[in-house]
Amino acid sequence: MDCIFCKIAAGEIPSNKVYEDDQIVAFYDLDPQAPVHVLLIPKEHIASANELNDRNSEVVGHIYLTAARIAKELHLDNGYRIVNNCGVDGGQTVGHLHFHLLGGRSMKWPPG
Ligand code: 5GP
Ligand code: ZN
pLDDT tens digits, 28-62: 999 999 999 999 999 999 999 999 999 999 999 99
pLDDT bucket at 64, cuts 50 / 70 / 90 = very high
Q: pTM for this structure?
A: 0.98
CA of 106 to the centre of ligand 2 (A): 31
Residues having CB within 6 Å of any atom of ligand 1: 4, 13, 15, 27-31, 39, 85, 91-94
Q: Give the ligand with the smallest distance to the CA of 96.
A: 2
38 beta partners: 28, 101
Using DSSP's 3-state secondary structure scheme, residue 32 falls into coil
Instruction: Pick the closest to residue 35 from 106, 104, 110, 111 (CA basis).
Output: 104
Mean pLDDT, residues 54-81: 98
CA of 38 to the centre of ligand 2 (A): 17
Please tell me which residue in 45, 62, 96, 98 is annotated as part of the active site.
98
40 beta partners: 26, 99
Q: What is the pLDDT of residue 31?
A: 98
Residue 112 pLDDT more than 90? no
